[in-house]
Protein backbone atom coordinates (compact mmCIF):
# COMPACT_ATOMS: atom_id res chain seq x y z
CA UNK A 1 0.00 0.00 0.00
CA UNK A 2 2.96 2.32 0.49
CA UNK A 3 3.79 1.99 -3.21
CA UNK A 4 0.18 2.88 -4.06
CA UNK A 5 0.50 5.91 -1.78
CA UNK A 6 3.68 7.05 -3.55
CA UNK A 7 2.00 6.63 -6.95
CA UNK A 8 -1.02 8.61 -5.73
CA UNK A 9 1.20 11.36 -4.34
CA UNK A 10 3.00 11.60 -7.68
CA UNK A 11 -0.28 11.62 -9.63
CA UNK A 12 -1.71 14.57 -7.67
CA UNK A 13 1.60 16.42 -7.35
CA UNK A 14 2.15 16.15 -3.60
CA UNK A 15 5.71 16.87 -2.54
CA UNK A 16 6.83 15.91 0.98
CA UNK A 17 3.74 15.80 3.18
CA UNK A 18 3.73 15.43 6.93
CA UNK A 19 1.97 12.17 7.76
CA UNK A 20 -0.37 11.17 10.56
CA UNK A 21 -1.01 7.43 10.71
CA UNK A 22 -3.09 5.25 12.98
CA UNK A 23 -3.12 1.42 12.85
CA UNK A 24 -2.63 0.31 9.23
CA UNK A 25 -2.14 3.97 8.28
CA UNK A 26 0.78 3.99 10.72
CA UNK A 27 2.19 0.88 9.05
CA UNK A 28 1.95 2.55 5.64
CA UNK A 29 3.66 5.68 6.97
CA UNK A 30 6.47 3.57 8.50
CA UNK A 31 6.86 1.71 5.19
CA UNK A 32 7.11 5.06 3.39
CA UNK A 33 9.71 6.29 5.88
CA UNK A 34 11.81 3.14 5.43
CA UNK A 35 11.55 2.80 1.65
CA UNK A 36 10.89 6.37 0.48
CA UNK A 37 12.33 8.75 3.10
CA UNK A 38 12.78 11.45 0.44
CA UNK A 39 9.00 11.49 -0.13
CA UNK A 40 7.85 12.44 3.37
CA UNK A 41 8.26 15.18 5.94
CA UNK A 42 7.47 14.61 9.60
CA UNK A 43 5.35 11.77 10.98
CA UNK A 44 3.03 11.18 13.91
CA UNK A 45 2.32 7.46 14.29
CA UNK A 46 0.16 5.58 16.76
CA UNK A 47 -1.21 2.05 16.90
CA UNK A 48 1.13 0.72 14.22
CA UNK A 49 1.76 -3.01 14.49
CA UNK A 50 4.97 -3.83 12.63
CA UNK A 51 5.78 -6.35 15.40
CA UNK A 52 3.53 -8.99 16.91
CA UNK A 53 5.01 -9.19 20.41
CA UNK A 54 2.22 -6.97 21.79
CA UNK A 55 -0.58 -9.20 20.49
CA UNK A 56 -2.52 -11.63 22.67
CA UNK A 57 -1.13 -15.21 22.42
CA UNK A 58 -4.35 -16.42 20.73
CA UNK A 59 -3.97 -13.84 17.97
CA UNK A 60 -0.32 -14.78 17.40
CA UNK A 61 -1.32 -18.45 17.05
CA UNK A 62 -4.04 -17.49 14.57
CA UNK A 63 -1.56 -15.40 12.55
CA UNK A 64 0.82 -18.40 12.36
CA UNK A 65 -1.97 -20.54 10.89
CA UNK A 66 -3.01 -18.09 8.16
CA UNK A 67 -2.04 -19.16 4.65
CA UNK A 68 -2.12 -16.92 1.53
CA UNK A 69 -5.67 -16.81 0.24
CA UNK A 70 -6.93 -18.67 3.29
CA UNK A 71 -8.06 -15.96 5.68
CA UNK A 72 -11.42 -16.91 7.11
CA UNK A 73 -12.85 -14.35 9.53
CA UNK A 74 -14.67 -17.07 11.44
CA UNK A 75 -11.27 -18.54 12.49
CA UNK A 76 -10.08 -15.26 14.01
CA UNK A 77 -10.54 -14.97 17.78
CA UNK A 78 -13.43 -12.73 18.69
CA UNK A 79 -12.48 -9.50 20.43
CA UNK A 80 -14.43 -10.60 23.50
CA UNK A 81 -12.36 -13.82 23.64
CA UNK A 82 -9.07 -11.94 23.92
CA UNK A 83 -9.95 -8.73 25.74
CA UNK A 84 -13.37 -9.27 27.31
CA UNK A 85 -16.53 -7.36 26.44
CA UNK A 86 -16.03 -3.85 25.13
CA UNK A 87 -17.40 -1.03 27.26
CA UNK A 88 -17.06 2.33 25.54
CA UNK A 89 -18.50 4.20 28.52
CA UNK A 90 -15.25 4.02 30.54
CA UNK A 91 -11.53 4.34 29.76
CA UNK A 92 -9.84 1.23 28.40
CA UNK A 93 -7.73 -0.86 30.75
CA UNK A 94 -6.88 -3.59 28.22
CA UNK A 95 -3.80 -1.96 26.70
CA UNK A 96 -0.64 -4.03 26.83
CA UNK A 97 2.46 -1.86 27.13
pLDDT digits (tens, 9 = 90+) for 58-90: 877 877 777 766 655 554 445 445 555 555 565
Question: Domain for residue 15, yes or no?
Answer: yes
Question: Domain for residue 37, yes or no?
Answer: yes
d(CA 38, CA 61): 37
SS3 content of the chain, % helix, strand, coil (to 5): 45, 10, 45
- Quick: pLDDT tens for 53-64: 777 788 778 777
Question: Domain for residue 42, yes or no?
Answer: yes
Per the structure, the complete domain to which residue 42 belongs is given by 2-46
What total of structural domains would you count in the chain?
A: 1
Question: Domain for residue 64, yes or no?
Answer: no
pTM: 0.53
| Contact between 32 and 39 (Cβ < 8 Å) | yes
Amino acid sequence: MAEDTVAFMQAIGVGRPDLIGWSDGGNIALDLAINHPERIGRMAITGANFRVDGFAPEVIEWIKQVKPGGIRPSRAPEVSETTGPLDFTRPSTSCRG
